[in-house]
């Protein structure tokens, strides 16, 4: 294997490392019995950001493989194994950890078996989605313009960004950078923490339902666009650069709300577009004649 051919696989292994470290931090957060009440939330925040870092490596490995023409069946299988860990198992485990840790504070008496079933449904559906993707997708660029079913990284982003939103509402002190309150921290402080209590109380219920539902969307045949490929193909390179600048501003000023809106909006947009498409197809079918 040539050195240039190793670069995509090294990026994939970095993705895998992010998933392992995210799981490790989730376990550390749940096992901590010290006196620092914010330790759990800091560890969980770090674990969530590691999943997003894994997405960066996941986006780079495929792009680098196609640019260097070093894609291979080995790389495709390795990528799926890494995605199964970082985007299937890790978000589901972190959601289960958050539900069971916060249940005592939110007067939520759930069942550990139910939480495991919800997390397992998300993980197993994601693995099935990856296996189907490997069988149906070719290495060329055209095969990556759209997806059949919700992509696994997008599903992970929807769950992980929801966890992060809960964390910053639960502990507004997380929204500080270099001792200065971030714009999001100022917004949370302006509205006041008690206003978010109903939302926080509903989070364990929401996650328990959202995990299997998003899992079903992953294995569905609902079409989803490949955003990065579409931006690079349509509108020219200049428009893509403008979009990248505004994307960077959004991530810099309000990374957690920005990711929450983008990923969950992407999930809902695909569902809405599929629903509208179904209604349109149904309306174009002519009624049967009485003859």
**Residue matched to tokens 């502990």:** 171
User: What is the Cα gyration radius of the chain?
Assistant: 21
Q: Where are the domains of the chain?
A: 3-284
User: pLDDT of 233-274, one tens digit each?
Assistant: 555 567 777 778 888 888 888 889 899 999 999 999 999 988
CB distance 283 to 290 below 8 Å: no
DSSP bridge pairs for 252: none
The 10 Å Cβ neighbour count of residue 28 is 15
Residue with tokens 């069988």: 135
Q: For residues 171 and 189, what is the distance between their CA atoms, to the nearest angstrom?
A: 11
* Cα atoms in the 13 Å half-sphere on the side-chain side of 79: 28
The tens digit of pLDDT for each residue in 165-192 reads: 999 888 887 777 656 666 766 666 665 5
Structure-model confidence comparison of residues 20 and 225, the more confident one: 20
Q: How many CA atoms lie less than 13 Å away from 72 in the CB half-sphere?
A: 14
Helix (H) or strand (E) holding 225: strand 223-225
Residue 99 pLDDT level (bands cut at 50, 70, 90)? very high
**Axis-axis angle for helices 73-83, 3-31 (nearest 10):** 10
């Amino acid at each position: 294997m040539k050195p240039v051919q190793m670069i995509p696989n090294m990026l994939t292994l970095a993705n895998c490392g992010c998933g392992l470290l995210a799981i490790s931090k989730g376990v550390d957060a749940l096992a901590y019995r010290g006196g620092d009440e914010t330790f759990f939330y800091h560890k969980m925040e770090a674990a969530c950001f590691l999943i997003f870092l894994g997405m960066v490596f996941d986006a780079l490995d495929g792009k680098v493989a196609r640019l260097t023409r070093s894609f291979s069946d080995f790389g495709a299988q390795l990528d799926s194994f890494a995605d199964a860990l970082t985007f299937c198992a890790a978000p589901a485990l972190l959601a289960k950890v958050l539900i069971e840790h916060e249940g005592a504070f939110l007067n939520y008496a759930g069942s550990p078996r139910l939480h495991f079933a919800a997390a397992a449904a998300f993980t197993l559906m994601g693995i099935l989605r990856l296996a189907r993707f490997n069988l149906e997708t070719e290495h060329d660029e055209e095969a990556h313009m759209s997806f059949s079913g919700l992509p696994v990284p997008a599903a992970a982003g929807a769950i992980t960004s929801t966890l992060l939103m809960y964390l910053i509402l639960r502990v507004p002190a997380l929204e500080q950078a270099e001792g200065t309150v971030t714009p999001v921290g100022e917004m949370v402080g302006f509205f006041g923490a008690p206003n978010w209590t109903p939302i926080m109380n509903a989070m364990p219920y929401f996650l328990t339902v959202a995990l299997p539902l998003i899992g079903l969307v992953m294995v569905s045949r609902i079409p989803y666009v490949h955003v990065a490929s579409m931006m690079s193909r349509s509108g020219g390179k200049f428009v893509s650069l403008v979009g990248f600048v505004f994307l960077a501003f959004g991530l810099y000023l309000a990374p957690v709300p920005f990711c929450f809106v983008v990923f969950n909006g992407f999930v809902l947009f695909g569902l809405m577009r599929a629903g509208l498409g179904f209604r349109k197809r149904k309306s174009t079918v002519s009624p049967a004649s009485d003859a």
